[in-house]
Structure 1
Amino acid sequence: MSGFDPLIQPHCQGQAFANSYWAATCPLGAPTPSLDKPLQVDIAVIGGGFTGLLTAYHLATTHHQSVALFEANQVGFGASARNAGFVLPSTGRLGYAQLAKKYGLDVSKAIYQEYNNAVALVREHIDTNHIDCNVQASGYLKVAHNQQAFSLLKAQSEFLTTTIGSKIHQLLSQQQLTETYMHNQQGFGALRFNNAFGVHPLKLLLGYKALAQQAGVQLYENSLVTHYQNQNGNHQLEVNGHRVSANKVVIAANAYAQRHFSPLTQGRYLPILSSIIVTEPLSDEQLAANGLITEQVVMDTRRLKYYYRRLPDNRILFGGRGAVFGHDQDNAKYQHNLRSALNDCFPNLNAKVHYFWSGYIAAALDDLPHIYSENNTGYVLGYCGSGVAFSAQASIRLAEKLMGHKVPDLPIYTKPLPKFPMPQLRRVGQLAYYQYAQIMDKVT
């Protein structure tokens, strides 16, 4: 990515694509033409990731709007094709007990349902539209990294069962985890959610791109929106030097959004780098020696989490938080850190690293995603790394909000993203938190 940082550079157009495993195993194909003339549409969508493509699709199909989507690079540049491909029934960083304490039990239950609906919607998109995206075995293992963390997982499991009414999770002891799923040296038990699954995110994204195009969405790649203003209810955008008029606008670039594009989003999210390594393919003997039985997706309970999965070709994908500052993201030490953490989990895994890349997620101050609209401009921001799944539900809700339809009365749909205090110091705060979290992850 050549050091791109959304808090420093004005936009991401022209930046290099990630040298990812996903890009190496899925050709992007030729881009659609860039915008080369003035245009007038009902709705302009900015950003060609999961959220932008699905929101455009729903606006064109369910709501019968003329829609144009503008992607600054080529579809597949941003976070939608840089993630680990986890389709999880959760988003944000707040647990359901925390949500209940802050907003009430009814809100917590309703958000739980929204998150799980999202997973079902992704599965429905894949099955109904025959999207070949290497769907793997169902199941998400939230692995306790020490005994204290397992005690917390046990409390979470009890809350989900007795208070939320969940029937999709199971608490696994350390012995059950080892015998059935993996011999993780830092696994002290797990909470398993049976509806989650892994995908090839770039293949899924290109499937969504095809859906949007089939629905009549005008899709313009390599088309940077450089200016935007609302003139008496008519939105005027400048794209590649051409004027675009629209009745409504969707901002769907998430962490890759331009810093000063709109006061609705400015200073309201923190772009955080997440880095991933992928190993060489492992032999059956290597898999057996390390007890890598499962293909289910895995994440641990650290504050600075590690996440991993066994891929269909028996490579291991392993990810975690990367550099704080964009200029440092390609530093080999972050690849080394991930390799060391992988070795801590599976000491007998002597495998070469074939791929290393990074991408930005968007974190919110209140640890929740927000789907919000004001003056006929809507956005989705703050997935906190779980947008592969929740974008399927968020896109429906954003389309409904823009069209004036009623949506559930939940803080993720009714409240704007809170603004960071002193947003110019977001990176300083992030650095301080990382230092704190690294210490706490070692002692608790």
Structure 2
Amino acid sequence: MTVGEREDISIGSFWEASVGQIKEDRQLVGEAVFDVAVIGAGITGLSAALKLAEAGASVCVLEARRVGWGASGRNGGFCCFGGTKLSEQEMVRKFGEDEAKRFVAYQLEAIETVSDRLNRFGMDVDRHSSGEMILAHRPRDAAGFQDDADYLNKTFGLGVRVLGVDELNEEGICGPEFHGGMHMPHGFALNPMKYVQALAQAVRDAGGRIYSHTEVLGLAEERDEWRVSTRFGGVRATRVVLAGNGYSREQVPEWLGGRLMPVMSSVMVTRPMSDDELAAQGWTSDMMSADSRILLHYFRLMPDNRFLFGTRGGIFETPEAMKTMQKRGRADFERMFPSWADVETEHAWHGHVCLAKDLTAYVGPIPEMAGVFGAMAYHGSGVAMASLSGEKVADMILGKIRADDLPGVISKPFSKFPFPALRQLYLQGAYWYYGWKDR
């Protein structure tokens, strides 16, 4: 690709179609100097850049393609609890009850951060849903919901409630594979591309500079600053933020090598449905929902009566593998919502979910790289976590907080995966095992 050349980077998502023409920031050509260089123009990077720019720092955001091209513009739009694949009970066993409570409070703060931001900037992001519903795909999962809810309410005061099948049906949540529900009354749904584009505009308005089509190729320390090298130039900065998440370049910096595992998540969106079609299936609720599988499905009815349906489980990002994953997702959709078997899919796409070996996100300084900070690995639920974690990294740079001010759950740097070159192979084995456990 030559200077100024633009590749076709459309991913065919409903989110792209819903926002129309996406602003293309100019490419970085030549050398530039800023206080802070942020790598990645997704929710994390833009959140950090906004906080820094509003505090008076000169900040640039370097994006390999364009704003929202990665996970921030591909996800299901669930602004909810997230950042780890550990249950609350597992967090208590591993980190202690106090640290688990601190992390639960962090997640609640993250959701509120997004809500406050939407109000502050008047962002129109198609917000809906009051909390999230977890639906038992087996009777034995439903049987354990009450104990789970009692624990969450007693330990963390979350206000969780349990619903039987009849209660779910009364709330417009009906399907042959749903044997009960557990409602978490925190969070909401949104259009993630509208959110990330509005966030980018807030950064521009605050004086931050965004460079699109500016892939970062290297990061090197030179005296008391860092040089971020790009295809057609570079940036010198005293502070750097790594915010690429599952789209990070594996060896930029070298410390990242072998510490992250991007896996696939596939999303489809139907055409708008009539009220009669919704009634035929018995699903009329706009509640964010997911089933109780380890390799979960996540879904919601959107404001225009389209239905979003997402799946986990892909590994290889080849055209054939993607077609297979989307075909499997469509088959799951028709099995779970049989009355909609003839409702067409209008948009289908995929994105990276970023996993870490310890199954928790990391927010903080990068070891042995003074002045470099990172926030990533949200394990499939990054809208809220990325929004707050980007701000927290900015606060560290500004000297407002220290790393140990954050919950212990997310303040331990990533461990390396054993035999990193074999990550995809043993992930395949894990998926077979999880598929067996989900039966």
> What range describes the TM-score normalised by the shorter chain of this pair?
over 0.9
Change over 3 Å in CA distance of 1:423–1:347 after alignment to 2: same
Q: Which residue of 2 aligns with 1:21?
A: 14
Q: Which residue of 1 aligns with 2:286?
A: 295
1:307 aligns with 2:298: yes
Q: Which residue of 2 aligns with 1:400?
A: 395
Q: Percent of aligned positions with the same letter in both sequences?
A: 28
Q: Which residue among 426, 429, 432 is the counterpart of 2:426?
A: 429
**CA-CA distance at 1:329 after TM superposition:** 6.0
Which stretch of structure 1 is more off in the superposition, 356-365 or 324-333?
A: 324-333
Which stretch of structure 1 is more off in the superposition, 395-404 or 326-335?
A: 326-335
SS at match of 2:328: helix
Q: Which residue of 2 aligns with 1:57?
A: 50
Q: Which residue of 2 aligns with 1:4?
A: none
Q: Which residue among 224, 244, 261 is the counterpart of 1:233?
A: 224
Q: Which residue among 96, 100, 107 is the counterpart of 1:115?
A: 107
1:47 aligns with 2:47: no
What is the identity, as a one-letter code, of the residue corresponding to 2:221?
N
**CA-CA distance at 1:367 after TM superposition:** 1.1
Change over 3 Å in CA distance of 1:224–1:262 after alignment to 2: same
Report the Cα distance in structure 2 between the residues aligned to 1:357 and 1:341, rounded to whole angstroms: 16
Is this contact kept in 1: 2:137–2:178, CA < 8 A? yes
Report the Cα distance in structure 1 between the residues aligned to 2:134 and 2:42, rounded to whole angstroms: 26
Report the Cα distance in structure 2 between the residues aligned to 1:148 and 1:406, rounded to whole angstroms: 44
Report the Cα distance in structure 2 between the residues aligned to 1:267 and 1:320, rounded to whole angstroms: 25
Q: Which residue among 349, 352, 374 is the counterpart of 1:357?
A: 349
Q: Which residue of 2 aligns with 1:164?
A: 156
Report the Cα distance in structure 2 between the residues aligned to 1:276 and 1:334, rounded to whole angstroms: 10
Report the Cα distance in structure 2 between the residues aligned to 1:331 and 1:205, rounded to whole angstroms: 25
SS at match of 2:174: coil
Change over 3 Å in CA distance of 1:179–1:400 after alignment to 2: same
Report the Cα distance in structure 1 between the residues aligned to 2:361 and 2:327, rounded to whole angstroms: 31
Report the Cα distance in structure 2 between the residues aligned to 1:204 and 1:73, rounded to whole angstroms: 18
Deviations 1:60-87 (A, max 9, x none): 224x311011111111211111111001
SS at match of 1:418: coil
Change over 3 Å in CA distance of 1:385–1:28 after alignment to 2: farther
Instruction: Compute the TM-score of the two structures, normalised by the length of structure 2.
Output: 0.94
**CA-CA distance at 1:333 after TM superposition:** 2.6
Report the Cα distance in structure 1 between the residues aligned to 2:130 and 2:215, rounded to whole angstroms: 38
Q: Which residue of 2 aligns with 1:220?
A: 211
Q: Which residue of 2 aligns with 1:383?
A: 378
Q: Which residue among 208, 212, 217 is the counterpart of 2:199?
A: 208
Deviations 1:361-387 (A, max 9, x none): 101111111112131111112101111
Q: Which residue of 1 aligns with 2:256?
A: 265
What is the identity, as a one-letter code, of the residue corresponding to 1:213?
R
**CA-CA distance at 1:14 after TM superposition:** 4.6
What is the identity, as a one-letter code, of the residue corresponding to 1:225?
V
**CA-CA distance at 1:428 after TM superposition:** 0.4
Report the Cα distance in structure 2 between the residues aligned to 1:243 and 1:314, rounded to whole angstroms: 46
Report the Cα distance in structure 2 between the residues aligned to 1:409 and 1:334, rounded to whole angstroms: 37
1:82 aligns with 2:77: no
SS at match of 2:436: helix
SS at match of 2:330: helix
**CA-CA distance at 1:348 after TM superposition:** 1.3
Q: Which residue of 1 aligns with 2:129?
A: 137
Report the Cα distance in structure 2 between the residues aligned to 1:212 and 1:113, rounded to whole angstroms: 27
Q: Which residue among 66, 90, 96 is the counterpart of 1:98?
A: 90
1:324 aligns with 2:319: no
Q: Which residue of 1 aligns with 2:241?
A: 250
**CA-CA distance at 1:19 after TM superposition:** 0.5
Q: Which residue of 2 aligns with 1:35?
A: 28
Q: Which residue of 2 aligns with 1:127?
A: 119
SS at match of 2:318: helix
Is this contact kept in 2: 1:255–1:270, CA < 8 A? yes
Change over 3 Å in CA distance of 1:152–1:231 after alignment to 2: farther
Deviations 1:258-310 (A, max 9, x none): 01111332111100110011112111111000011211111111010000011
Report the Cα distance in structure 2 between the residues aligned to 1:221 and 1:347, rounded to whole angstroms: 43
- How many correspondences in the alignment? 428
SS at match of 2:265: strand
Report the Cα distance in structure 1 between the residues aligned to 2:29 and 2:418, rounded to whole angstroms: 40
1:194 aligns with 2:191: no
Report the Cα distance in structure 2 between the residues aligned to 1:329 and 1:434, rounded to whole angstroms: 18
Is this contact kept in 1: 2:139–2:179, CA < 8 A? yes
1:414 aligns with 2:406: no
Which stretch of structure 1 is more off in the superposition, 173-182 or 123-132?
A: 173-182
Change over 3 Å in CA distance of 1:41–1:331 after alignment to 2: closer
Instruction: Compute the TM-score of the two structures, normalised by the length of structure 1.
Output: 0.93
Is this contact kept in 1: 2:95–2:409, CA < 8 A? no
**CA-CA distance at 1:147 after TM superposition:** 1.6
Report the Cα distance in structure 2 between the residues aligned to 1:28 and 1:72, rounded to whole angstroms: 18
What is the identity, as a one-letter code, of the residue corresponding to 1:73?
R
What is the identity, as a one-letter code, of the residue corresponding to 2:192?
P
What is the identity, as a one-letter code, of the residue corresponding to 2:44?
T
**CA-CA distance at 1:144 after TM superposition:** 1.1
Q: Which residue among 359, 366, 375 is the counterpart of 2:358?
A: 366
What is the identity, as a one-letter code, of the residue corresponding to 1:17?
S
**CA-CA distance at 1:402 after TM superposition:** 2.7
1:154 aligns with 2:149: no
What is the identity, as a one-letter code, of the residue corresponding to 1:249?
V
Is this contact kept in 2: 1:323–1:329, CA < 8 A? no
**CA-CA distance at 1:153 after TM superposition:** 2.5
Is this contact kept in 1: 2:47–2:388, CA < 8 A? no
Report the Cα distance in structure 2 between the residues aligned to 1:38 and 1:178, rounded to whole angstroms: 60
SS at match of 1:302: coil
Is this contact kept in 1: 2:49–2:59, CA < 8 A? yes
What is the identity, as a one-letter code, of the residue corresponding to 1:74?
R
Deviations 1:291-339 (A, max 9, x none): 1121111111101000001111111110102531111466433222112
What is the identity, as a one-letter code, of the residue corresponding to 1:43?
V
Stretches of structure 2 that go unaligned for 5 or more consecutive residues are: 1-5
**CA-CA distance at 1:256 after TM superposition:** 0.5
Is this contact kept in 2: 1:183–1:290, CA < 8 A? yes
